[in-house]
Amino acid sequence: DTAVSQTPKYLVTQMGNDKSIKCEQNLGHDTMYWYKQDSKKFLKIMFSYNNKELIINETVPNRFSPKSPDKAHLNLHINSLELGDSAVYFCASSSLYNEQFFGPGTRLTVL
Amino acid sequence: GDSVTQMEGPVTLSEEAFLTINCTYTATGYPSLFWYVQYPGEGLQLLLKATKADDKGSNKGFEATYRKETTSFHLEKGSVQVSDSAVYFCALSDQGAQKLVFGQGTRLTINP
């Protein structure tokens, strides 16, 4: 009965590869988010989708492409991975204008 | 733009000590304010929130009051436990923007 789930939990890959992280929520929320947490624990929003439409895109390189096939899923695809992409990526969901619920995070390591 | 500033960590206390973690914010509108907690190896959990001035959020013995005049939302607990060891994040959400803006996080360690 996990509320917001992400897969995989850990992802180790080489520079230049393409990878995806999946997120699913079973809370019936209509808004989903991706946040990036860097090595100093700083958290910053990357994207937000409401009813499958992109509403926030925070100056993220276009190598990052979110995809929302339906309201319960928001996947993050990353092309041509770079060392600086190493971080923990958190998915979250909410009803519009209400509190956000976070997934457990995906730790991405680019070698 | 909107921003949140938290007291620098790490913070180390003994069990049963009084805890304060300072948080101040800058926002153009009337944001909602939050404290999230991240236990080791886990995601973020909402600890408490306040949506308007003078509201007090409370949960698990933690409290924070939304002070518009000082643009602050300091987190307090009267008697901390070892299990409170975690990273604490202050955040705001401007409803129009719908995103959370986080402070830099404060790592708290409680020693027995």
B66-96: pLDDT as tens digits: 999 999 999 999 999 999 999 999 999 986 6
Is B43 close to A102, i.e. CB distance below 8 A? yes
pLDDT, tens digit (0-9, with 9 covering 90-100), for B25-79: 999 888 999 999 999 888 899 999 999 999 999 999 999 999 999 999 999 999 9
pLDDT at B97: 62
- Residue B29's nearest CA partner among B74, B105, B78, B93 is B93
Which amino acid would we find at residue B33?
A: L
Is B43 close to A103, i.e. CB distance below 8 A? yes
CA distance, residue A107 to nearest chain B CA (Å):
10
Q: Determine the Cα–Cα distance for residues A101 and A91; give it in Å rounded to an integer.
A: 8
Helices (H), B6-105: none
Tell me what the mean pLDDT of segment A18-33 comes to. 95
CA distance, residue A103 to nearest chain B CA (Å):
6
pLDDT at B61: 97
**3-state secondary structure (DSSP) of residue A81:** coil
Q: Answer whether residue A2 shows pLDDT above 70.
A: no
Q: Determine the Cα–Cα distance for residues A86 and A72; give it in Å rounded to an integer.
A: 26
Is A42 close to B104, i.e. CB distance below 8 A? yes
Is A50 close to B89, i.e. CB distance below 8 A? no
pLDDT, tens digit (0-9, with 9 covering 90-100), for A44-99: 999 998 888 888 888 788 999 999 999 999 999 999 999 999 999 999 999 876 78
pLDDT, tens digit (0-9, with 9 covering 90-100), for A12-25: 999 999 999 999 99
DSSP code for B72: B
> What torsion do the CA atoms of B54, B59, B60, B61 make, to the nearest 10 degrees?
10
- Residue A80's nearest CA partner among A11, A13, A7 is A13
